[in-house]
Amino acid sequence: MRDDVLAHLHDILHAARAVKEFVADQSFEHYSGSEVLRSAVERKFEIMGEALNRINRDAPALLPQIRIYRDIISFRNILVHAYDAIDERIAWGVIQEDLDSLIQDVTRLLE
């Protein structure tokens, strides 16, 4: 695997783990009420989405091995281009329901 693709995978893994750490032991109410926490989480999703975009450019055959890559790229696009339409419940749902599978898939690819 190319070094730049490996770097993107590491960026995704680091960002996803950071999100998990940011929201550990937090409720949705705390998350939705904290601009600082939401901003930190959204920034990490932007990083994950951009890294996946770059993998798509450099090694597109790799992406199907990451189950939710389309969702993360789409969410990144919303964050960047439609920031005023962000629904905290969607971000919270991705964190609670999908982020673990992203971590698993990327970890497997890095092994």
Q: How many domains does the chain have?
A: 1
Catalytic residues: 76, 81
Radius of gyration, CA atoms only, the chain: 14
pTM: 0.92
Domain with 26, as residue range(s), is 3-110
pLDDT of residue 80: 85
pLDDT of residue 78: 86
Per-residue pLDDT of 59-109, as tens digits, reads 999 999 999 889 899 888 888 887 777 788 988 998 999 899 999 999 999
Q: What is the mean predicted confidence (pLDDT) over 26-54? A: 95
Nearest in space to 79 (alpha carbons), one of 26, 51, 52, 41: 41
